[in-house]
Amino acid sequence: MTGRHPHPVLVPHGYRIGNWEVREPLASGAFATVYAGRAAAGADPALPRRAALKFLPTGTRTPRQLRHLRELSEREVEVLARLRTPRLIRMFETLTVDDPDHPELDGATVIVLERAEGSLDSVLAHDPRPASGPAMLAQVCEGLYQLHRAGWVHGDLKPANVLLMGDGSVRLADFNMAAELHGTHAYAPAFATPDYTAPELLWPEMDERGARVRPSADIWAFGVFAHLVLSGTFPLPGGSTEARADAATRYARGAEELRLSPGLPEPWRRIVLACLAPTHARRITAEPLLRLVERAADVPRSARLPRLRAPFRHRHPVVAALLAAALVLPASLVGGGYAYVHYDDGTPVYEALPAASRAPTRSGGATSFGYHRCPPDSVCFFSEHNGNGEMCDWRGDDADWPAGDRPCAWAGGGPVRSIFNNLADGRKRRDVAYYRGSDFEPAGFDRTREAQRTGCTKHQAMGNLAGTYAPRSHRLVASCAAGESSTVGRILSVLD
């Protein structure tokens, strides 16, 4: 934008600023250039020996973009001065160049940052699908959560702004686009990286302060980012940024569907879908997202998050679950994620969808059904109402859904909302009973039921479930009418 040189700010090698001596350039963004810095002789011993020096040309002799460059550097300094968390890059100090002999540098802002080994961008250039992807995503998500919790929107999440530290962890960087929330939204500076920009912000309406952004814009960017890291491709089709941006707006208008990469592993597909909801209101929020991501990445829960565990867990489990569900309701209404509580035995209870959003409708207003996807002679469980969403299907029993021959991964992190028993007529055992415990054992709420199971669906029946649980095992039974504890049921299944 400014100048002809690839680096917007040229600083001579060996240039001295405060405690620092400038070394080689590390990276350049649209506005700033980052140089390696070495502690100069006589530097404050409390400072590290190496740092990254980010130069923003805010001097009075800088020909262009003075006003918003200053604003951009102020945004970054403010975020880093106020937020110090393990997932955000650390700032040591800020300096202003006072050097009339170098008019192009005079007045520049220098932000002294923790020195990283490189950005995720360069990692992806060599290895488009790094094995450490899930763990890195969990850390990026944690950083986003910390930022959102503090009332900020990052505004420019992308691989180039995720830095790799010496210990292999990653941190979020580059807060020039960050915006502090005022109520539900903030005003973003009018810059964006189109491939990571939520559709509502691609060609947003402007008022005099710019475009309004919400935290959900970062969530969209995280969805794109996760898809890229895990599959090596962008989630929206198109050979150029412009084409993908156009596809994103078409998707948001309902003119195109999302076709995620078949290479995207299952728990992540669900996560990416929750992030890439077409409207901001339907996107998951950072907190439930972090839960899902940590579970998918199989990393320990981050310690600083408050637990959702019900405080009443020694009382009657149903009461405890209902109370806890009431407590978490507002958060999950906003986020659309799965708020849940645990029984003592670890069985999750999910919150049911509000009635209005249970039946997905097509643009014409007709309810859409997905039961037809169920293969012949199978039982099928679905993640959404009316046979929509993810599907797991079996032809026989499964004593442990997460671990069996046909693992059903999505049910490990979300409820089952509908079922279709499509077993063939000729079978002797053609109803299906399901349990919240593995090995056809009752667990959690099942134990309070007379039949000691979650439910049973008759041959050729289909319908919506409560949507508050996911079974862990199911088996085919001769008849739902006979409880599994009854002798008749046992004898019939032995005969089969």
Closest to other proteins by CB, 156 vs 398, is 156
Least distance from C-beta 226 to other proteins, angstroms?
16
Closest to other proteins by CB, 220 vs 469, is 220
Least distance from C-beta 39 to other proteins, angstroms?
28
Rounded CA separation 431/457 (Å): 6
* Cβ count within 10 A of residue 118: 12
Least distance from C-beta 213 to other proteins, angstroms?
11
Least distance from C-beta 65 to other proteins, angstroms?
5
Q: Which helix (H) or strand (E) holds 480?
A: none
Least distance from C-beta 147 to other proteins, angstroms?
17
Identify the burial level of 257 via C-beta atoms within 10 angstroms of its C-beta, where 0-12 means exposed, 13-18 middle and 19 or more buried: exposed
Least distance from C-beta 110 to other proteins, angstroms?
20
Rounded CA separation 254/268 (Å): 23
Closest to other proteins by CB, 84 vs 129, is 129
Least distance from C-beta 321 to other proteins, angstroms?
45
Amino acid identity for residue 249 in this structure: T
Asked if 66 and 58 touch (Cβ cutoff 8 Å), the reply is yes
Closest to other proteins by CB, 97 vs 192, is 192
Amino acid identity for residue 297 in this structure: A
Closest to other proteins by CB, 174 vs 484, is 174
DSSP 79-115: HHHH---TTB--EEEEEE---TTSTTTTT-EEEEEPP
Q: Which helix (H) or strand (E) holds 477?
A: strand 473-477
Q: Rule CB under 8 A: which residues touch other proteins? A: 1-6, 8, 27-31, 63-68, 119, 121-122, 125, 156, 158-160, 177, 189-196, 202-211, 241-243, 246, 249-250, 253, 255
Helix axes 317-335, 286-297, angle to 10 degrees: 110
Least distance from C-beta 173 to other proteins, angstroms?
12
Closest to other proteins by CB, 253 vs 282, is 253
Cβ within 8 Å of residue 10, ≥6 positions away: 33, 104
Closest to other proteins by CB, 249 vs 452, is 249
Asked if 72 and 29 touch (Cβ cutoff 8 Å), the reply is no
Helices within 236-366 (DSSP H only): 241-252, 266-275, 286-297, 317-335
Least distance from C-beta 162 to other proteins, angstroms?
11
Q: What are phi and psi of 75, to 5 degrees?
A: -60, -45
Rounded CA separation 291/295 (Å): 6
Closest to other proteins by CB, 67 vs 307, is 67
Closest to other proteins by CB, 240 vs 357, is 240
* Cβ count within 10 A of residue 451: 16
Rounded CA separation 216/223 (Å): 11
Asked if 425 and 470 touch (Cβ cutoff 8 Å), the reply is no
Least distance from C-beta 235 to other proteins, angstroms?
15
Closest to other proteins by CB, 160 vs 322, is 160
Closest to other proteins by CB, 250 vs 395, is 250
Sheet containing 473-477, strands listed edge to edge, beginning at the edge strand earlier in sequence: 455-457, 431-435, 473-477
Least distance from C-beta 4 to other proteins, angstroms?
5
Length of the chain: 496
Beta-sheet strands, E only, within 332-403: 340-342, 348-350, 378-382, 391-394
Rounded CA separation 425/460 (Å): 9
Rounded CA separation 168/477 (Å): 51
The DSSP 8-state label assigned to residue 399 in this structure reads S
Closest to other proteins by CB, 243 vs 333, is 243
Closest of 81, 158, 75 to residue 113, by C-alpha: 81
Least distance from C-beta 470 to other proteins, angstroms?
38
Least distance from C-beta 289 to other proteins, angstroms?
22
Asked if 470 and 412 touch (Cβ cutoff 8 Å), the reply is yes
Closest to other proteins by CB, 122 vs 132, is 122
